[in-house]
Amino acid sequence: MKIGTQNQAFFPEDIKEKFRYLQEAGFDGFEIDGKLLVDHLDEVKEAMAETGVPVTTACGGYNGWIGDFIEERRENGLAEMRQILEALQQVGGKGIVVPAAWGMFTYRLPPMQSPRSQAGDRKAVTKSLLYLDKAAEETGTTIFLEPLNRYQDHMINTLADARSYIEENQLKNVKIIADFYHMNIEEDEISEALHENRDLIGHIHLADNHRYQPGSGSIDFKKHFDRLKQDGYEGFLTIECRVRGNDPEAEYKRALAFLKESLR
């Protein structure tokens, strides 16, 4: 297993300098914003060639969710996701991370009455995934379907929820991304859920129980990494977290060292 990262505020803004920074810091890959990749594709290619740091996946960079309440916005989002998949194909990226939605609605906070039925939710998400499954096949990429916690999304909250869409629709190019932070809220036990869905887990996001940097909270990363090893997971572990502390850059590098030690 290798460790990747999303962008952080203290990373250099210049793309080539950003990739040099990742190389020097010891990251194995970069999960890039999809719009940044599409808009600066040639520069990203040059940065990858110079540093050897690969673009592993894309996350974000599109406007519209696969389960969006607004049909026009859902369709626009899908078109942008396809563009991102085409750009990923050019740089050898694995695929794109997509939740059903983020921050659109939750049953856990007012008004607690969704503007669409659960059957309507499932119809919209299914329609989107069928489209993206085909787009991923055509570009040689993968859709990483991400369950979010109940306070951020109302449609797909557990790995089992994501699995049901894949199995019911016989999706060949859709896998599950397991996010430790969301799993800490939604799953009965992280290692058990990882094991039960080992055949469909294709990507992993890392943050501690409070969404801050790994090693600063209560999640037993070594235990879960050992489970992944036993189950033969060979994909990326990508840090997706906020950072707190007097020196965020130093704290982030400390988190990377903590994760590498936990992998031993």
pLDDT per position as a tens digit, 50-109 = 999 999 999 999 999 999 999 999 999 999 999 999 999 999 999 999 999 999 999 999
Residues of the chain with pLDDT under 70: none
Separation between Cα atoms, residue 151 and residue 164, nearest integer Å: 21
Please give the pLDDT value at position 84: 98
Please give the pLDDT value at position 49: 98
Beta bridge partners of 203: 177
Domain covering 2-262 assigned CATH 3.20.20.150 in the classification: yes
What are the boundaries of each domain within the chain?
2-262
Q: Do residues 91 and 41 lie in contact, with contact meaning Cβ atoms separated by under 8 Å?
A: yes
Please give the pLDDT value at position 173: 98
Separation between Cα atoms, residue 12 and residue 190, nearest integer Å: 34
Q: How many other CB atoms are found less than 10 A from the CB of residue 123?
A: 13
Helical segments of 29-143, H only: 34-39, 41-51, 71-91, 118-139
Which positions are annotated as active-site residues?
A: 146, 240
Structure tokens given for 171: 């999706």
Q: How many other CB atoms are found less than 10 A from the CB of residue 117?
A: 9
Please give the pLDDT value at position 199: 98
Amino acid at 253: K
Q: What is the pTM assigned to this prediction?
A: 0.98
Closest CA to 2 of 32, 29, 23, 22: 29
Whole-Å CA distances, 181 to 76, 149, 162, 166: 29, 8, 16, 22
